[in-house]
Amino acid sequence: MVDLIEARVVVIGSGPAGIAAACAAAESGGRVLLVDGQSEPGGAIWRGAWTGRVPAADPAPVWFDRLRRAPVETAFDTTIVGRVGPHRLLAAREHRSIEIRYDRLILATGARELLLPFPGWTLPGVVGAGALQLLVKNGLPIAGARVAVVGSGPLLPAVAASLRARGASIAVLIEQASWRALARFAGHLMVGHFSKFRQALALKRAIRGTAYRAGCWPRAAVGEDRVRSIVFTDGVHLREEPCDWVACGFGLVPNLELAAMLGCGIRDGRLTVDDHQESTQEGVFGAGELCGVGGVDLALALGRIAGHASVGDRVRAERWMSLRDKHRRLATRLEHTFRLRSELERLCEPETIVCRCEDVPFGSLRGAASARDAKLATRCGMGPCQGRICGPATERLFGWTDRSGRPPLVPIRLDALADPPDS
Amino acid sequence: MSRPGVGRSYDVVIAGAGMVGAACAEAAAREGLRVLVVEPDLCGGGATAAGMGHLVVMDDSPAQFELTRYSCARWKERRDEFPEQVEFRETGTIWIAADEDEAVAARKKGDLFRAHGVAAEWLDPPTLAECEPDLAPGFAGGLLVAGDAAIYPPRAAQSLLERAQDRGARVVRDAVVGMKDREVLLRAGGRVPAAACVVASGEAARHWLPELPLGVKKGHLLITDRTAHRVRHQLVELGYSRSAHGDELESVAFNAQPRGTRQILLGSSRQVGVTTRDVDWPILRRMVRRGIRFLPGLATIMATRVWTGLRQSTPDSLPLIGEDARRPGVILATGHEGLGVTTSLGTADLVVSIMLGRAPPIRAEPFRPSRFGSPP
C-alpha cells in the first residue's frame, strides 16, 4: 500500500495565501494539512525567511508565528504528482509515494515569472530576474558584475536593489511601462495606499544612481558564448549597454496546472472563483496569485476567505471581503500600469528559439493553429520543462492556451512512482 | 484545410489522418488518384502521437513478420524522403532474454530473421553488457536487430499528408459517418461521391461499423528528464509480446527507447478493454518497477511526463486490411494495435494494390477482414 495522509482541509502551497488559508481553516475548526514541495513554508516571496537564512520582510514574521501556533499539520518536501480520483491526490516525497485524501481542497499554488523570447535570450548569462535573485541568495558571486534588469513590473526594482546590496552594479533597468503610466500609479499609491508608496520610495532610494529607462524594452541580448551587452529601444532609438548578466522578468503568470488537472474553470489566465473563493469544482477553493496576480496583501486576504469558507464559516470569511476589495483595486491598477505592450510580441526573428528544451525556433511555429498543433509538428513544450516556460510565452505571442497538462505536475523521481517497491 | 468542392467526386476518401491514413493518402495520391482525407482533429494527433515510434520487426505470427519486415524495409528505402524533424534514428532493437529458456527462443528468433534477410545478432551476456553498460546484470543475453529504428510519428504522418497534398489530395476537417451508393457521408451533412472509402481510424470504425471485431488496449508511456544515463538501443524484454508480467487483461513489459535529447522513453503497459484516458497509477507503478529492474539507474532520474494511448486491436492481433464484404467500396485499414506506425507504409501499399486490382506486395489474405466470418 502507498502511504496515506488524510485531512478535512488540504492546502496546497505554503506561500502567504496558503499560510493564511491554513490558519483560517484551523481557526474555523477544520483539521488542516498544509502541503508544499519546498522544505519550509514561505513560498517564492518569503523563501529562506522561515529558517532565517534571509531576513524576513513584514508581514512574514507575524504569519510564521501564527502558523507555528495554529493546529496545522504540515507536509514539506512533498510535491503533488497528479489526481488519483475524487478527493484523492498522489504526491511524492523523495523516493516515496503518498496518497493525500481531502474533503476540502485549497489551491494556493502561486505564480511564476513570465519570460518572453527575444533575440539572444538563450545566451548564457540571460536569466529570469527572480531566478538570478535566488541564485545569488544561494551563493552565486555577483559582486562587481554588471547586471541589466529587463522587463516589467514592481519585481524589477526589488531585484535590482537586492543584487546591488550584494555588490552588483546595475548597468541599466529597462521597464517597458511608460513614464506616464508609472507616474499615474505613483500618484494613486500616494493617495490610497500610503504604506506602499513608502515602500516604493525606499526601493527608489535603494537603486539610486541606476539608469532607470521606462518606456523601453529589449531588442536583443548580444554576445558569442555569453552575453556581452543588451540592446534596447524606446521605439525610436536603439541603445546598447554592456553587461555581464541580463535579468529578465515580464511579470508573473499563475501556476494553474493543478487546477486545470482537477477540472476547475479557468478564465483570462486565472482561476474562476465565487465570492467565497470556491472554484467551479465543488469543494475546491483557490487563493493567492492563482486567482490573478495581486501581491502579498491580496494573497493573505484571499487565503483567509478561502480558509474560513472551506469549512463553511461564511461569517468569518466575509469579514475580510472589504480588505480584499481594497487590495484588489490596487492589483487592478498594477495590472493596468504594467500591461505588456504589443511591441513585445514582435521581438522574435524567425530563428529566435522559443522552446528552449526542444530548440524550436519562432519561424517554425508561425503556421501552427494551436499549442497542440505546434506540439505535434515541432515538439514545442514537450521537453523537460513541459511548457512551463514557453507555454505562457506562446500564449502571449500566438494566443494559444494549453491546459492539457499531463502528470506529473512537476518532475518526479522514478523510484517514487514505483513506490512501494516490489515485494 | 479546404472544403471539398461541391459536386466534386473522388477516387478515394480516407477516413482518418493518423499514421496509417496519411500513408494511404500519400500512396494513393502518388498513383494519381483523386484523394480526399477526412479528419475531425489534427493530423497524427491520436494513437499516432501517443506511441513510441518504434519501427520494429515482430514475429508473433508469420503474417505479422511479413508485414513488419516489409514495412521496415520500406521505411529504410524511403527515409531520405522525410524531413529532419521526423527524427529517423537507426537505434536498433535488443530483445533481452531473462533466462536460458528465453535465450533459446531469442536464438530461434535470430535464425528466422536471418533466414529472411533481417540482420540479427546474438549477444552473449558479456557482449550485451558491453553494448548496454547500464543494463542490470544477470540476463542470459540479447538479440540485436540492428535495422530497427525510431521516429517521431506525428511529424512523419504530417509529412506524408503534406506530400499527398502536393500531389493534389485535399484535406477536410470533418468525420466520415457512413457510405451509401458510392457516396461517403460526412458528419457535417456533406455527401461526397467516391469510388472507395478507406477507414483508417479505429474511432470512425467503432461508430460507423460497430460489427467489426475491434477492441481497445490502453497503454501508458513515460518520458524522463535529460540524463547522463546510457541507453544505446531500443531495449525490449523478449516476453514483450507475450506480456511478460500480468494476465490476459492487464500486463506490463519492459521497453525503453533512447531519444536524441538524452531523454529515455519508457514503456509499456497493456489493459484490455479500458477506454478511459486517465493515468492508472497502480499499473504505471508496475511498469516503472519493471523498468527499474532492467535499468536500475532509472530509479533516481526524473519522470517529466506520463500519458496514455488507446490501441485498436483485433482478436488475432493482426490488422484489418481489405474490403468490407458487406459494404461495397469500403476498404478497412485499422486495428493495428501497437504496430500502426511500423506497418503504415506496408498497409498503404496493400490498400493501393487492392484499390487498383494489382498483385499485393505481400500476402494479403491474413489481413482480410472476412477472416473472422460475416456477422449474422
Nearest CB to A411; choose among B42, B45, B302:
B302
pLDDT band at residue B304 using 50, 70 and 90 as cut-offs? very high
Asked if residues A132 and A249 have their Cβ atoms less than 8 Å apart, the reply is no
| Polymer length of chain B | 376
3-state secondary structure of A281: coil
Does residue B120 sit in the same domain as residue B237?
A: yes
CA atoms within 13 A on the CB side of A155: 26
Q: How far is the C-alpha of A120 from the C-alpha of A112, rounded, in Å?
A: 22
Residues B14, B276: contact at Cβ < 8 Å? no
φ, ψ dihedrals at A81, nearest 5°: -95, -45
Query: Could you tell me if B253 and B218 are in contact, meaning their C-beta atoms sit under 8 angstroms apart?
Result: no
Last residue of a domain, one of B267, B296, B313: B313
Q: Which residues of chain A have pLDDT under 70?
A: 422-423
Q: DSSP letters of A283-306?
A: TEEE-GGGGS---HHHHHHHHHHH
What sign does the CA torsion over A237, A238, A244, A247 have? Answer: positive
Q: Sort out which chain B residues have CB atoms less than 8 A from A421's CB and list them.
A: 289
pLDDT of residue B206: 85
Boundary of a domain, candidates B282, B313, B344: B313
Q: Can you tell me whether residue B6 is helix, strand or coil?
A: coil
Q: Which of A417, A422, A423 to mutate to test the interface with B (most CBs of B within 10 A)?
A: A417
B339 inside domain: yes
Supply the mean pLDDT for chain A: 93
Question: What chain A residue is nearest to B85 in terms of C-alpha separation?
Answer: A378
Query: What CATH number did the domain enclosing B121 receive?
Result: 3.30.9.10
Using the Cα atoms of residue A224, residue A230, residue A234 and residue A236 in order, give the sign of their dihedral.
negative
Q: Look up the domain containing B134 and give its range.
A: 89-149+215-313
Does residue B61 form part of some domain?
A: no
Nearest-angstrom CA–CA distance, B40 and B187 = 9
**Residue A186 φ/ψ, nearest 5 degrees:** -60, -40
B136 and chain A in contact, CB less than 8 A:
no
Determine, yes or no, domain membership for B78: no
The strand order across the sheet containing A217-223 reads A217-223, A227-233, A238-242
Weakest mean pLDDT among A208-222, A284-298, B201-215, B333-347: B201-215
Query: Which residue type occupies A121?
Result: W
Report the pLDDT value the prediction gives residue A209, as an integer from 0 to 100: 82
Query: Residue B374 has what pLDDT?
Result: 63
Identify the CATH number of the domain in which residue B182 sits: 3.50.50.60
> In terms of domains, do B170 and B45 share one?
yes
Query: Is residue B79 in a domain?
Result: no
Beta bridge partners of B197: B13, B330
Query: Can you say whether residue A5 is alpha, beta or left, with left for phi > 0 and alpha for psi between -120 and 50 degrees?
Result: beta
For chain A, counts of helices (H) and of strands (E): 13, 22
Cell output for A140 = 552565486
Judgement on whether residues B259 and B304 belong to the same structural domain of the protein: yes
CA B375 to each of CA B334, B369, B370: distance values in angstroms, whole numbers, following the listed order: 18, 11, 10
Residue B108's contacts (CB-CB under 8 Å, 6 or more residues apart) are: none
Contact call for residues B96 and B238 (beta carbons, < 8 A) = yes
CB pairs under 8 A between A and B: 93
Q: For residue B1, is it within any domain?
A: no
Mutation target for B interface from A414, A415, A419, A422: give the one with most B CBs within 10 A: A414
pLDDT of B6 reads 44
Q: Which chain B residue has its CA at the smallest distance from A358's CA?
A: B261
The reported pLDDT for the residue numbered B241 is 65
Query: Distances from the Cα of A241 to the Cαs of A93, A100, A151, B286, in angstroms?
Result: 45, 51, 15, 56
Cβ contact B42–A372 (<8 Å): yes
Report, as an integer, the average pLDDT of B341-364. Answer: 97
Cell of A201: 520610495
Are both B306 and B251 inside the same structural domain?
yes
Q: Give yes or no for B165 touching A (CB within 8 A).
A: no
Number of domains in chain B: 2
Mutate to test the interface with A, among B155, B225, B259 (most CBs of A within 10 A): B225
Residue listed under C-alpha cell 523537460: A384
Nearest CA in chain A to B225: A384
Q: Determine whether the interchain pair B299/A414 forms a contact, defined as Cβ–Cβ distance below 8 Å.
A: yes
The complex scores an ipTM of 0.90
Q: Which segments of A8-128 does DSSP mark as H helices, in order? A: 16-27, 60-69
State whether B221 and B356 are in the same domain. Answer: no
pLDDT one-digit tens code per residue, A2-43: 889 999 999 999 999 999 999 999 999 989 999 999 999 999
Which pLDDT score is estimated for A206?
80
**Cβ atoms within 10 Å of A305's Cβ, excluding its own:** 29
Question: Max CA-CA distance within chain A?
Answer: 69
Q: Are B85 and A378 in contact (CB < 8 Å)?
A: yes
Set of cell numbers at residue B345: 507504409
Of the candidates B282, B297, B313, which is a domain's last residue? B313
Backbone angles phi, psi at B12, to 5 degrees: -150, 135
Element containing residue B74 per DSSP (H, E): helix B62-78
Asked if residue B4 has pLDDT above 60, the reply is no
| CA torsion, ordered B360, B362, B367, B369, to nearest 10 deg | 10
Q: Is residue B182 domain-shared with residue B285, that is, in the same domain? A: no
Q: Tell me the mean pLDDT in the region B331-360.
A: 97
Looking at residue A139, its pLDDT comes to: 87
Residue A286, phi then psi, degrees to nearest 5: -135, 150
Q: Is the pLDDT of residue B346 over 90?
A: yes
- DSSP element (H, E) containing A271: strand A270-271
Given a contact cutoff of 8 angstroms between Cβ atoms, the answer to whether A44 and A54 are in contact is no
Q: How far is CA B66 from CA A53, A218, B234, in A?
A: 67, 59, 21
Q: Decide: B53 and B151 in contact? Cβ < 8 Å.
A: yes
The alpha carbon of residue B190 is apart from the nearest alpha carbon of chain A, in Å, by 24
Specify whether B248 is located in the same domain as B294.
yes
Residue B242 — very low, low, confident or very high, per pLDDT cuts 50/70/90? low
Mean pLDDT of B264-288: 94
* CB-CB contact of A387 with A381 (8 Å): yes
Q: In the predicted model, what is the mean pLDDT of chain B?
A: 93
Phi, psi (deg, nearest 5) at residue B262: 70, 15
- Cβ(A119)–Cβ(A221) under 8 Å? yes
Confirm or reject contact between B284 and chain A (CB < 8 A): yes
DSSP string, A353-417: EEETTTTEEGGGTTT-SSHHHHHHHH-TT-STTTTTTHHHHHHHHH--------S-SS-EEHHHH
What one-letter code names the amino acid at A405? G
User: Strand A3-12 vs strand B149-150: parallel, antiparallel, or unpaired?
Assistant: unpaired
User: Is A379's CB within 8 Å of B152's CB?
Assistant: yes
Crossing angle of helices A129-137/A155-165, nearest 10°?
30
The pTM assigned to this predicted structure is 0.91
B207 confidence band (pLDDT: 50, 70, 90): confident
User: Are B224 and B278 found together in one domain?
Assistant: yes
Mean pLDDT to the nearest integer, B215-223: 96
User: Of B154, B284, B303, which has the smallest distance from its Cβ to A376's Cβ?
Assistant: B154
Decide if B168 is inside a domain.
Answer: yes
Residues 42-61 (B) with a CB less than 8 A from some CB of A: 42-45, 49
Residues of chain B positioned with their CB less than 8 A from the CB of A372 = 42, 45
Contacts of A191 (CB under 8 A, 6+ apart): none
pLDDT at B376: 43
**pLDDT tops 90 at residue B240:** no
- Judge if B99 and B230 occupy the same domain: yes
Dump the DSSP string for A144-187.
T-EEEEEE-STHHHHHHHHHHHTT-EEEEEEE-S-HHHHHHHHH
Residues B219 and B209 in one domain: no
Domain-embedded: residue B237? yes
Residues B224 and B341 reside in one and the same domain: no
C-alpha dist (Å) from residue B130 to B126, B141, B232, B293, B295: 6, 11, 11, 18, 14
CB of B221 within 8 Å of a chain A CB? The answer is no
**Residue B170 within a domain:** yes
B181 CB-near residues (< 8 Å, 6+ apart): none
Residues B176 and B207 in one domain: yes
B299 reaches A (C-beta below 8 A): yes
Nearest to B280 by CA among A281, A372, A417: A417
Place B239 in a pLDDT band, splitting at 50, 70 and 90. Answer: confident
pLDDT reported for residue A422? 62
